[in-house]
Amino acid sequence: MQQLNEDRFRHRDLNWLSFNERVLQEAADKINPLYERMKFLAIFSSNLDEYFRVRVSQLRQMKRVKKSIRKKLALRPSKITKQIIQEVKKQQNDFGDIYHNHIIPELAENGIHIRDAEHYSDTHKKFVDSFFNNKVEKHIKPIVLDLENENELFLENSVLYFLITFKNENKLAVINIPVEDCGRFVMMDDVQDEHNITYLDEIVRHEAFKIFPEDDITGIYEIKLSRDAELYIDDIYEGVLAEKIYISLKQRTEGQPTRLLYDAKMPKEVQKKIRKLLKLGKIDMMPGGQYHNFKDFFSFPDPTNNKKLHFKELPALPHKTLDKSKDYFKAIAEKDQSLHFPYMSFSYVEKFVDMAAEDKDVTEISISLYRVADESELTNSLMKALKNGKRVTVFVEAKARFDEENNISWGRKFEEKGANVIYSFPKVKVHSKIMLISRQEGDENVKYAYIGTGNFNAETSAIYCDHAIFTANKNITKELYRLFKVLEGELIIPREKNLLISPFSTRQEFTKLIYNEIENAREGKKAKITAKMNSLEDEDIIELLYKASNAGVEIRMLIRGFTCLIPGVKDLSENIYITSVVDRFLEHGRIYLFENGGDDLMFYGSADWMNRNLDRRIEVISPVLDDDIKQEFKDILDIQLNDNVKARIQDPEETNKYVQREEGEKEIRSQYSIYEYLKKKHAT
């Protein structure tokens, strides 16, 4: 996508598309069961929707910034947007091929048929007619447009519509497809051992003549509009330049359209009409297939209950210590305890909070909540703690993208019950995954900490690969206590020596650690950096990694998402090797390992190497101090580094080639191998 001679960095938005291509590869990979491949199509579609709402929206807004500022920032929004559209079209063609030529035939082989309106039997037609009359029609809201007069048309974000054309070319109509009310997929069983499923779209298409009984319909085309999300300019640009951008933008329209996805069969003259009605440019028009919103395939029914069509169940593994413990405080005081999700259950975290809520000696619970679940054992336990007279401090991130409303709602619930609730700071997000519990034990106030890489959310913990440690280590708990005092406004800086806390010390400490490896390499000592993260974007860190590579430091990275670093380039990054694992679960953990002249240092936490995580978010990166847990983390990291089933090589050409297994080499599918490793280690 991007030529190497353009600069030393990949464009993050272009490389993100390379990540989404890996998701699409999973939809095509027949190692995965059929219904799981359909879910990967849903993930791809959902990812792309958010991408247009946030990233492409930002590029569009940058086009309105003064040229002098764009030049200073090396912004090329038009060029990048064109490259994005070109790549997205290619990926959507691949998507269509996977769906039509692989998924649909394999469903049919398993007795599951997706029927469109053209192939309804007489029995189907009777069913559809009744279903529409009784369940669908009341939710249809037609909009009729007379093109000879001035019209205003508003389409909601990501809602499915049909654009309908008539024999009268001066008339158009738009009707909603009421998925929220009726579901996307409808079962139409009528033959033994055969299962017929139709899209709600097809039912509405088949019955459209009832909505316009006096008109001759000439075309029905599905459309979906993506509207932008809040503009997060500070995610990339900061300080005076950010302010100049805001001034240059002046006033921004909320929810501006960023993409109209339409049926590619729509005639050009009709495309022009809808473009004009929605005030879109040509670049905003994205041709697609007959159906949109494939994210609905998360809920595609399986009438066969065939276990072979789904991933084999992996029961949550018991933790060898916590599973038998009736007193987590005692277990944690004796030794740090680690958790690994989704291989282990999030219930251990919920149980600890519940113990704290019930424990007469616990005086205070402090926790940061980035994405709050709708309802959970953890939030119920926090409410119980308040009822039992504990002091509860909850930091609620009100700006967690797309979760703002739910987070604020929970904040108000906690406030009503007497919690000390703190909301976001201006221009700073609290992204750390931390909890601190204070307990009076005799004359001493003992503190117990939880530091993780993932959110306090039981639902996401079942699909996100994350790591966490419970600790009573006084050096860690003391510094975490000071950080909570910073969040409460009682301290200005946390004064940490062990933890790396953004925006106070993380960048400086990582810089020192990388320079230390550079110096060791120059002195002929073994020097190595191993890092696992979601994304790599910070240019200062990347330049340091280039410098380390040229000094002879071996750099091995696991990056699930996008990377702006270009690996494997002679005289730039030839000692940097990157792979990405996309598989059953979403890799989400961050682990950093430095050789340090043989006395290696390991860290884990919530921060990627992105400038927002280093400079504009409250993040916590903790050293792994327990030797047993440190070895456990190393073993897990080593398994992932040696994945030869689901790992893709991040090469300069962005080919996304799978790591090839050598002849006779053992097959390592890391997520399953980690499960077996933990199963053996925590056997009770």
Whether residue 88 has pLDDT greater than 60: yes
Rounded mean pLDDT, 318-336: 97
Residue 242's pLDDT is what? 43
In 10 A of CB 195, how many CB atoms?
Answer: 19
8 is in an annotated binding site: no
Confidence of residue 404 (pLDDT cuts 50, 70, 90): low
pLDDT for position 3: 42
Q: Give yes or no: 319 in active site.
A: no
198: nearest Cα among 181, 185, 211, 207:
185
Asked whether the predicted pLDDT for residue 248 surpasses 80, the reply is no
Q: Report how far residue 436's alpha carbon sits from residue 427's, in angstroms, rounded to the nearest whole number.
A: 25
Residue 118: which of 184, 185, 192, 205 has the closest Cα? Answer: 205
CA atoms of 467 and 531, how far apart (whole Å): 14
Its pTM surpasses 0.85? yes
Query: In whole numbers, what is the pLDDT of the chain averaged over residues?
Result: 89
The one catalytic residue in 195, 292, 431, 467 is 431
Instruction: With cut-offs at 50, 70 and 90, classify the pLDDT of residue 372.
Output: low
DSSP alpha helices (H): ranges in 99-175? 104-109, 122-131
| Average pLDDT score over residue span 443-463 | 95
Same fold, 4-300 and 502-681: no
- The encoded tokens of residue 143 equal 């909009």
Confidence (pLDDT) at 427: 60
Phi, psi of 398 (to 5 degrees): -75, -10
Q: Could you tell me which of 547, 541, 563, 548 has the C-alpha nearest to residue 615?
A: 541
Q: Are 208 and 217 in contact (CB under 8 A)?
A: yes
Distance, CA of 647 to CA of 414 (rounded, Å): 43
d(CA 53, CA 257) in angstroms, rounded, equals 9
589 pLDDT more than 60: yes
**Both tokens assigned to 626:** 């327990």
What integer pLDDT is reported at residue 4 of this predicted model? 43
Across the range 519-548, mean pLDDT stands at 97
Q: Flag the least confident range among 195-209, 321-335, 390-404, 660-674.
A: 390-404
pLDDT tops 60 at residue 511:
yes
Q: What is the pLDDT of residue 239?
A: 41
Residue pLDDT, tens place only, 165-177: 999 999 999 999 9
What is the secondary structure of 244-260 as a DSSP string? HHHHHH-S--TT-EEEE
Whether 401 has a binding-site annotation, put simply, is yes
With tokens 């789904």, the residue in question is 310
- Which pLDDT value is given to residue 232? 46
> Would you list the DSSP string of 293-358?
-GGGGGG---TT--GGGSPPP-PPBPPTTTTT-S-HHHHHHHS-EEEEETTB-THHHHHHHHHHHH
> Does residue 115 have a known ligand-binding role?
no
Instruction: Determine whether the annotation assigns residue 47 to a binding site.
Output: yes
Which ranges of 67-214 would DSSP assign to H, the alpha helix? 67-72, 77-98, 104-109, 122-131, 179-182, 200-211
- Alpha carbons within 13 angstroms on the beta-carbon side of residue 245 total 22
Give how far Cα 411 sits from Cα of 166, 213, 455, 625, Å.
Answer: 51, 51, 16, 34
Q: What is the pLDDT of residues 592-627, one digit of tens each?
A: 999 999 999 999 999 999 999 999 899 999 999 999
pLDDT in the model for residue 322: 97
The contacts of residue 320 (CB under 8 Å, 6+ apart) are 681, 682, 683, 684
The residue behind tokens 């849903």 is 42
CB 632 within 8 A of CB 319: no
Q: Which residue in this structure is represented by tokens 């919690």?
A: 419
Hey, where are the domains in the chain? 4-300, 328-495, 502-681
Q: Any binding-site annotation on 32?
A: no
Q: Is the pLDDT of residue 245 over 90?
A: no
Tokens of 215: 């008109």
Over residues 462-490, mean pLDDT: 96
CA distances from 661 to 39, 291, 541, 645, 646 (A): 27, 38, 32, 8, 11
Output the six-digit token pair for 349.
Answer: 């975290």
Which region holds residue 322: left if phi is over 0, alpha if psi is between -120 and 50, else beta? alpha
Residue 359 corresponds to which tokens in the numbers above? 């424990």
- Looking at residue 649, its amino acid is I
- The segment with the largest mean pLDDT, out of 35-39, 373-377, 399-403, 429-433, is 35-39
pLDDT for residue 675 is more than 90: yes
CA distances from 588 to 209, 533, 602, 604 (A): 49, 7, 17, 11
pLDDT exceeds cutoff 60 at 68: no
Please state which architecture CATH assigns to domain 4-300: 2-Layer Sandwich (3.30)
Is the per-residue pLDDT at 57 higher than 60?
yes
What pLDDT, on the 0 to 100 scale, is given for residue 411? 76
CA-to-CA separations, 572 to 293, 483, 517, 518, 569, in angstroms, rounded? 42, 38, 17, 15, 5
pLDDT at 258 over 80: no
On whether 464 is known to bind a ligand per the annotation, the reply is yes
**626: Cβ–Cβ under 8 A, 6 or more apart, which residues?**
335, 336, 338, 469, 471
State what percent of residues in the chain have pLDDT above 90: 75
Can you give the pLDDT at residue 233?
45
pLDDT bucket at 641, cuts 50 / 70 / 90? very high
pLDDT tops 70 at residue 63 = no
641 SS3 class: helix
Give the domain 502-681 fold. Answer: Endonuclease; Chain A (3.30.870)
pLDDT at residue number 47: 93
Q: What is residue 553's predicted lDDT score, i.e. its pLDDT?
A: 98
Q: Does domain 328-495 have CATH number 3.40.47.10?
A: no
pLDDT tens-digit series, residues 111-161: 999 999 999 999 999 999 999 999 999 999 999 999 988 788 899 988 999
Q: What DSSP element (H or E) covers 615? A: helix 611-615
642-667 pLDDT, tens digit per residue, is: 999 999 999 999 999 999 998 889 99
3-state secondary structure of 151: coil
Give Cβ neighbours of residue 592 (< 8 Å, ≥ 6 apart). 510, 513, 529, 530, 531, 532, 602, 603, 604, 621
Tokens of 477: 């708990």
Per the DSSP assignment, residues forming a β-bridge with 580 are 648
